C-alpha cells in the first residue's frame, strides 16, 4: 500500500506543482493587483463567509462516501444515485441560507451579487471534488491525480485571457471566469465517471435521512474545522471599520498559505480511502503512516523555512504594493502551514476510522482558542493579530491530533526515526539561515539551492525511496 501511495502522491504533487502555483501567482495574485486591497478584501471576506456554510453542500458526504465506496466498491452505482439526489437538495438549502444570513448580519445591497457568485463557485467546487473522490475510492488513483488540477488549468485559460489579452479584469470577471471553468470541469469528470459505472439521481426521503445521519460525524469535523480556519477573514472585515483593507492584507498572505495547503489536502484525498481499506482489512497502518510522515515532513519543513527567511522577496515578487505588515503576517501564516500540513496525516487516519467523537472535541477547543484570540488581537493588531491566532490554534490542534492518533492506532516511530526527523529539521534551518544571511546570490537561486540540497538530505535519511516511486 505504501508503494502505491508513494507513486500516486508524487504524480499528484507533480501535476499540482506545475499548475496550482501558476494559477496563484499568474491569475489570483494579478487579480489582487488589479482590483486592490479593498475590493479583493470584500471578495475574500464574502468567500470566507460562504465557506462557513459550505458544509450544507456536502454534510460530510464526500469523506463518508470515500470510506464506504473504498470498502464496498460493487455498490457504487446505487450509492452514487442516492447521494447525488441528496446533494441537489442541499444545494437549494445552501443558497437560501447564505442569502438570508447575509441579510441578517447587515451586508450592503452591493455585496449580494458577489455573494451569490461566490455561492455558485462553492456549489460547483463541492460537486467537482465529490465526483473526483470516486476515482480514488475505486482505486483509480492515477485518474484522480490528473483531474486534481483540471479546474485550475481551465481557470488559467479563461481568466488569463481577461488579464493578459483583454488587459482588463474586475471582481465580477474573476467570479464569472471561475464559474465557467468549474462548469466545464464538472462536465468532463461526469463523462469520465460515466465510463466506470452507470450515473443516475434518485430522491428518497428515507435514504437521504439515513445518509445524512451516517455522514453527520464527518460533517461535524468539517463544520468545526471551518469555524476555526475561516472565521479570521470574516472577523477582520466585521471587527475593523476600514472598508475591508485589513482583510485584503490578510488575504495577500493567506492566499499563499491556502495554495500551499493543497499539499496536505492532496495527501488526505489519497490517504482516506487507503487508510479505510487497511482498517477494513484489519491491516497495520504503521508502514503507510511512516511513508506519508517522511514525505510530508520533508515538504512542509522545506517550504515553511524558505517562506520565513525569504518572505519579503516572495511578497514583493508577487505583489506590486506590499508593506511590512503583509510580510510579517505571511511569515506567521507559513509557520502555521507546517502544523496544518502534518495535521492532515493524522486527521485522515481518524476520519478513515469513523470514530470522531474525541477528534471533534479537539476542533471544538481550537474554535474557542481561535475566536478568543481573534476577538482580542484583531482590534489591536489587525491582520498580524489574526495570523498569530492562526499559528497558536494550528499548533494546539496538531498536537491533539497526533496524540489521539498515536494512542488509538498504536502508531510507533523508532528512536532512530525520531532522531533523523530532528536532524533533518536542524540541518534545514541551518542551511536556509546560512543561505539567506551569509550569501549574496539572487534570492531565487538561493531558494533553488536550498530545495535541492534538502531533498537530497531527506533521501539520504530515508524519508522517501525512489524505488517506491519508480517500480
Domain boundaries, the chain: 2-412
* Cα-based distances in Å from 207 to 46, 54, 77, 87, 215: 33, 22, 14, 12, 12
Q: Burial code of 341-357, b = ≥16 C-beta within 10 A, e = fewer?
A: bbbbbbbbbbbbbeebe
Give the single-character DSSP code of 321: S
Give the closest residue to 177 by CA, choosing from 193, 166, 188.
166
**pLDDT value of residue 11:** 67
- Residue 73's pLDDT band, with cuts at 50, 70 and 90, is low
- Asked whether the predicted pLDDT for residue 456 surpasses 60, the reply is yes
- pLDDT for 112-166, tens place per residue? 999 999 999 999 998 898 888 777 777 777 777 778 788 999 999 999 999 999 8
Residues in CB range of 247: below 8 A, 6 or more apart:
41, 42, 44, 45, 233, 236, 237, 240, 383
CB distance 243 to 38 below 8 Å? yes
* Residue 166 or 71, more confident: 166
Phi, psi dihedrals of residue 285, rounded to the nearest 5°: -90, -5
Phi, psi dihedrals of residue 242, rounded to the nearest 5°: -135, 25
Phi, psi dihedrals of residue 413, rounded to the nearest 5°: -120, 120
- Residue 307's pLDDT band, with cuts at 50, 70 and 90, is very high
- Length, in residues, of the chain: 471
- Asked whether the predicted pLDDT for residue 2 surpasses 70, the reply is no
- Asked whether the predicted pLDDT for residue 371 surpasses 80, the reply is yes
- Asked whether the predicted pLDDT for residue 184 surpasses 80, the reply is yes
d(CA 414, CA 429): 23
Give the single-character DSSP code of 462: T
Q: Across 233-247, 304-318, 350-364, which has the greatest mean pLDDT?
A: 304-318
What pTM was estimated for this model as a whole? Answer: 0.72
- Asked whether the predicted pLDDT for residue 470 surpasses 60, the reply is no
> Rounded mean pLDDT of 54-71?
72
d(CA 346, CA 403): 9
> Rounded mean pLDDT of 413-441?
90
Amino acid at each position: 500500500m505504501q508503494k502505491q501511495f508513494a507513486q500516486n502522491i508524487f504524480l499528484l504533487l507533480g501535476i499540482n506543482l506545475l499548475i496550482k502555483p501558476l494559477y496563484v501567482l499568474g491569475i489570483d495574485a494579478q487579480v489582487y493587483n488589479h482590483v486592490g486591497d479593498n475590493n479583493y478584501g470584500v471578495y475574500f471576506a464574502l468567500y470566507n463567509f460562504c465557506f462557513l456554510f459550505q458544509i450544507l453542500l456536502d454534510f460530510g458526504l464526500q469523506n463518508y462516501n470515500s470510506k464506504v465506496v473504498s470498502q464496498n466498491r460493487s455498490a457504487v452505482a446505487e450509492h452514487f444515485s442516492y447521494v447525488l439526489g441528496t446533494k441537489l437538495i442541499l444545494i437549494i438549502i445552501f443558497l437560501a441560507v447564505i442569502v438570508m444570513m447575509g441579510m441578517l448580519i447587515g451586508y450592503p445591497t452591493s455585496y449580494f451579487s458577489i455573494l451569490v457568485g461566490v455561492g455558485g463557485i462553492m456549489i460547483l467546487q463541492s460537486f467537482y471534488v465529490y465526483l473526483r473522490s470516486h476515482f480514488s475510492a475505486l482505486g483509480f488513483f492515477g485518474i484522480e491525480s490528473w483531474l486534481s488540477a483540471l479546474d485550475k488549468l481551465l481557470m488559467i485559460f479563461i481568466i488569463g485571457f481577461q488579464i493578459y489579452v483583454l488587459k482588463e479584469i474586475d471582481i465580477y470577471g474573476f467570479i464569472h471566469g471561475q464559474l465557467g471553468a468549474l462548469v466545464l470541469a464538472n462536465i468532463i469528470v461526469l463523462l469520465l465517471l460515466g465510463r466506470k459505472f452507470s450515473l443516475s439521481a434518485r430522491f428518497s426521503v428515507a435514504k437521504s435521512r439515513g445518509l445524512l445521519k451516517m455522514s453527520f460525524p464527518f460533517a461535524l469535523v468539517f463544520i468545526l474545522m471551518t469555524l476555526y480556519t475561516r472565521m479570521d477573514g470574516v472577523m477582520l472585515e466585521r471587527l475593523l471599520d476600514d472598508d475591508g483593507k485589513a482583510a485584503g492584507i490578510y488575504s495577500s498572505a493567506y492566499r499563499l498559505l491556502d495554495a500551499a495547503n493543497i499539499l496536505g489536502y492532496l495527501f488526505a484525498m489519497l490517504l482516506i480511502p487507503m487508510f479505510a481499506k487497511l482498517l477494513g482489512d484489519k491491516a497495520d497502518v504503521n508502514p503507510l503512516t511512516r511513508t506519508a510522515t517522511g514525505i510530508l515532513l520533508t515538504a512542509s519543513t522545506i517550504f515553511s523555512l524558505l517562506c520565513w527567511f525569504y518572505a519579503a522577496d516572495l511578497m514583493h515578487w508577487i505583489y506590486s504594493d506590499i508593506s511590512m505588515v503583509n510580510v510579517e503576517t505571511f511569515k506567521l501564516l507559513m509557520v502555521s502551514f507546517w502544523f496544518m500540513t502534518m495535521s492532515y496525516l493524522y486527521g485522515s487516519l481518524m476520519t478513515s476510522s469513523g470514530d470522531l467523537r474525541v477528534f471533534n472535541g479537539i476542533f471544538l477547543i481550537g474554535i474557542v482558542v481561535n475566536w478568543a484570540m481573534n476577538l482580542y488581537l484583531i482590534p489591536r493588531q489587525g491582520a498580524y493579530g489574526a495570523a498569530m491566532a492562526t499559528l497558536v490554534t494550528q499548533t494546539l490542534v496538531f498536537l491533539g491530533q497526533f496524540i489521539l492518533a498515536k494512542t488509538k492506532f498504536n502508531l510507533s516511530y523508532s528512536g532512530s526515526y525520531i532522531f533523523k526527523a530532528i536532524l533533518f529539521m536542524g540541518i534545514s534551518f541551518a542551511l536556509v539561515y546560512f543561505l539567506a544571511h551569509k550569501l549574496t546570490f539572487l534570492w531565487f537561486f538561493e531558494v533553488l539551492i536550498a530545495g535541492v540540497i534538502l531533498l537530497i538530505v531527506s533521501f539520504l535519511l530515508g524519508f522517501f525511496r525512489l524505488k517506491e516511486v519508480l517500480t
